Amino acid sequence: MAIQLDGIRTIVFDLDDTLYAERDFAYSGFDAVGRWLKERMACPVDPATRMRQLFETGNRRRVFDELLLELRCPDVARMVPAMIECYRNHFPVIKLMPDAERALARWSGSFFLGLISDGPLRTQQQKVQALDLERRLNRVILTDEWGPAYWKPHPRAFEIMERESGQSGSACVYIADNPAKDFVAPNSLGWRTVRIRRPGGVYADMSPPPGGCEQFQVQSLDEVDIRF
Ligand SMILES: [Mg+2]
């Protein structure tokens, strides 16, 4: 359902599954890991194709283990960490979701636009680079610059956004997808919070911690109308 937010000056986004689909990153990573693997062992099936199937049908945390077991790899314990490294460090082929592309075009120039994202620093930096977000946003904060203790729900990144945009929380909005951690800090600082809940999203059924419930919910950024 469409929502209208008034009195906003600063719009801050989450990254994964808010501006682009994390599934696209996974598929891009499987391509990179597949190439890496084919240089090291015989693969009777295309490993990237098989990893996509395992990702869609099985335990997402065990895609690499399952693949190696199927390939009768004698050294799973040593190979899996190397595959994770390859996956995290590859330069991703990803793109903004169409509604995110339209939202940035709609709000650019009129609002202070920011990004707050957790996750391994190099991985997140390369996503930001692939999506050209340093150029399109006023401020990008990757919380892993300070270490995992400052990942959401820690408020530090949100406080910096307030300071650098020159606004108090009441003129800020955070748009994100994960109620388990995304909304606690901005709620406590008086921000407005919008949960993007695309059909079929990973966190579609998670319930929030105390104080972590979003104030608004939409299925697409096309439904968000933001004004001064
Ligand atoms: Mg997210």
Q: Pick from 89, 106, 124: which residue ends a domain? A: 89
Report the separation in Å between the CA atom of 121 and the middle of ligand 1, taken as the mean of its atom positions. 15
Condensed to tens digits (0 to 9), the pLDDT of residues 83-142 reads 999 999 999 999 999 999 999 999 999 999 999 999 999 999 999 999 999 999 999 999
Q: How far is Cα 112 from Cα 104, in angstroms, rounded to an integer?
A: 11
Report the separation in Å between the CA atom of 18 and the middle of ligand 1, taken as the mean of its atom positions. 6
59 and 160 part of one domain: no
| pLDDT for res 199 | 84
79 and 131 part of one domain: no
At 31, list the tokens.
């391509």
Report the separation in Å between the CA atom of 183 and the middle of ligand 1, taken as the mean of its atom positions. 11
Report the separation in Å between the CA atom of 52 and the middle of ligand 1, taken as the mean of its atom positions. 20
| pLDDT for res 100 | 98
10 and 123 part of one domain: yes
pTM of the shown model = 0.95
Backbone angles phi, psi at 16, to 5 degrees: -65, 125
SS3 state at 182? coil
Q: How many CA atoms lie within 13 A of 198 on its CB side?
A: 20
| pLDDT for res 207 | 78
Q: Pick from 70, 89, 108: which residue ends a domain? A: 89
Reported as a pLDDT band with limits 50, 70 and 90, residue 222 is very high
Residue 200 has pLDDT above 90, yes or no: no
Please count the structural domains in the chain. 2
222 and 131 part of one domain: yes
Reported as a pLDDT band with limits 50, 70 and 90, residue 166 is very high
Please name the residues in contact with 47: beta carbons below 8 A apart, sequence gap of 6 or more.
Answer: 30, 33, 34, 37, 38, 67, 71
Q: Pick from 89, 123, 142: which residue ends a domain? A: 89
| pLDDT for res 168 | 98
Residue 58 has pLDDT above 90, yes or no: no
Report the separation in Å between the CA atom of 16 and the middle of ligand 1, taken as the mean of its atom positions. 4
Report the separation in Å between the CA atom of 4 and the middle of ligand 1, taken as the mean of its atom positions. 22
12 and 124 part of one domain: yes
Residue 205 has pLDDT above 70, yes or no: no
9 and 30 part of one domain: no
Q: How far is Cα 17 from Cα 172, in angstroms, rounded to an integer?
A: 20
The range of the structural domain enclosing residue 212 comes to: 3-21+94-226
Report the separation in Å between the CA atom of 117 and the middle of ligand 1, taken as the mean of its atom positions. 8
Report the separation in Å between the CA atom of 163 and the middle of ligand 1, taken as the mean of its atom positions. 23
Residue 116 identity (one-letter amino acid): I
Report the separation in Å between the CA atom of 60 and the middle of ligand 1, taken as the mean of its atom positions. 17
132 and 190 part of one domain: yes
Condensed to tens digits (0 to 9), the pLDDT of residues 15-57 reads 999 999 999 999 999 999 999 999 999 999 999 999 999 999 9
Q: How far is Cα 84 from Cα 53, in angstroms, rounded to an integer?
A: 18
Residue 227 has pLDDT above 70, yes or no: yes
139 and 185 part of one domain: yes
Report the separation in Å between the CA atom of 56 and the middle of ligand 1, taken as the mean of its atom positions. 19
Overall average pLDDT of the 1-18 stretch? 96
Q: What is the DSSP string of 84-118?
A: HHHHHHSPP-----HHHHHHHHHHBTTBEEEEEE-
| pLDDT for res 203 | 58
- Paired strand residues for 91: none
Reported as a pLDDT band with limits 50, 70 and 90, residue 59 is confident
33 and 132 part of one domain: no
Q: How far is Cα 1 from Cα 109, in angstroms, rounded to an integer?
A: 26
Condensed to tens digits (0 to 9), the pLDDT of residues 62-76 reads 999 999 999 999 999
